[in-house]
Structure 1
């Protein structure tokens, strides 16, 4: 601020009273003193001294930052109708048209549906299925683009059996390789003579892929769902919300985490210094490490990682991303044990001071200690989950205590 402007402001007769009022208000908030809840004592010289009152009952700034003593989060308790599994793109799903099941290039399950377009000729696949999607807000699926330079358009159509009345969405800003597409249903464009039929009486879902002239494009689609809401994302902090999704497995809701756009997420309501933190996980990828992220910063990925090293592995690793880069603090192998697909396991970490202890369980009740490490680079931070190496897995049963 230059001198002339400063003098002009000071000349204003309201400036000083307003400034003093702001200072007094801020001071009152920080000290937490009021005539009603403050106490006075005599200092022996006839002067009353005001005692400092705790801020909302907290004794210091540390308790403000780490005030959440316990926390639990369960997705299995959610209404299973929160997610509609429209198609897993497996052999039994019944897609028709120009597509093919691809057992080599898939994201989830055992296969994806590939759709090819050659020399600007549309490749079209469709699924005839009766659905009521009127209570859902989001359509979501992963897709893979073989050559972004050959792709002209991808269009999703959802409507009646003849697609006389339907909703459409033209995908844009695609990337090469696998990516997660999340479309708010209110962004679809309505077509037809009977828009009242709406989302309640869906009979057909269609994907159209068009390549550029004199090129060939293949797009793979996988795990198509409708979800009632994306509000679950508010419980998490991450650099890219494609990392998390909801899924339905065995008629129960689970949290699906993919190494897509980000590699970790932390709980919004929890920070930890000395704590116990655990969660269940169901591995889905061979060699795809996943597990707990703690005392971490989701913005720069620095912190500690307690990892199960993926399907068909029997090893667990405590990693750290610190000032010196990535470091494996300890790796252990468990004899007569191997992680299996679709089996549920639990990881737990106890952190106290510089000591970090890792545990594993097959039932969520009986935990076996697998590693004990001393490291003091990070003393506090966020707590959450992580997935490595373009893999994915399911998580649930979060518990935190400090």
Structure 2
């Protein structure tokens, strides 16, 4: 679509696929017409489709021939009619009437109409006199309008083919320059419209080539968004001697060769693929590193847990050891106190021992089938019988006197076995 736009609006553009250039053409033209047709000529395109910017007027008698002819006819008719009729009053009426038409014809020759949107250049005897603005002017017949120069903004297409970049890539650039003619005298008498077309085209192309030479091929596509104030100033300096003022410069098309663009796209695609592969490798490496880090952290955590468990076990063992020590100390304290008590009351231990023996005897007395194993000979036997007699006496006493105190006995038995 861009190539179609280029071929339509820029016939000088290069067809990059074939490398052929279309024939040259002229954008700024002039035309020669009578002054009364100049208004239409300044707004009508010529055969090439371009509107003329300068009109060269053909020399034309500004006295109205129609009014003069009417005046002559009226005067001749009045004279002839008065001679034939013999009435000279008709001559007196025809002369003023013909004089009116004659004065009207002469007066209209002093009126010059300059079309709107144009300058008029005046000449007297072939020499430039002055420049007048649009509108109706009163000028003597010996002062003529030699040129009409447009005052509108003029667009100018500037195609540049195979402009080398900084890295020597041939690029195509097309710009649209708009300007106005600020000094009609200098524009008309310094150069013709067609010659200015060639001069201005060359100046624009040289300036664009110099600008393209300062950039790389990667920046060519960005020229359409680039500030063109420096380019406009350079063109203003080049066209100022011809009375031309730059309005605006727009770069509307900038593109490297198609083959170069394809190679650049292929290279960028390869670079993107390499970058993607490098990124994937980096991701895999990072994943591997993260896995190793996680495994190392897991090992460290496990070792830490085991160390904590070992410390807990050590603390428990220390607590158990401390408990054992405290229990041993308590037992030692209890034994020492018991020993002190025994030392203080030696009969109390014997009393407790006899109480235990008495409890055994009670068990024997209530169980006739019990067998007592004696290990001390006749002494133990005699002691057992004496204990039995003592227990029986206590039983009788308890039956006769309920208020009598009884010995507190233990429930323990010593070496009693039922047969």
The answer to whether TM tops 0.5 is no
**TM-score grouping bracket, smaller chain normalisation:** under 0.3
Larger RCO: 1 or 2 (CA < 8 Å, sep 6+):
1
Query: Which of the two has greater strand per residue?
Result: 1
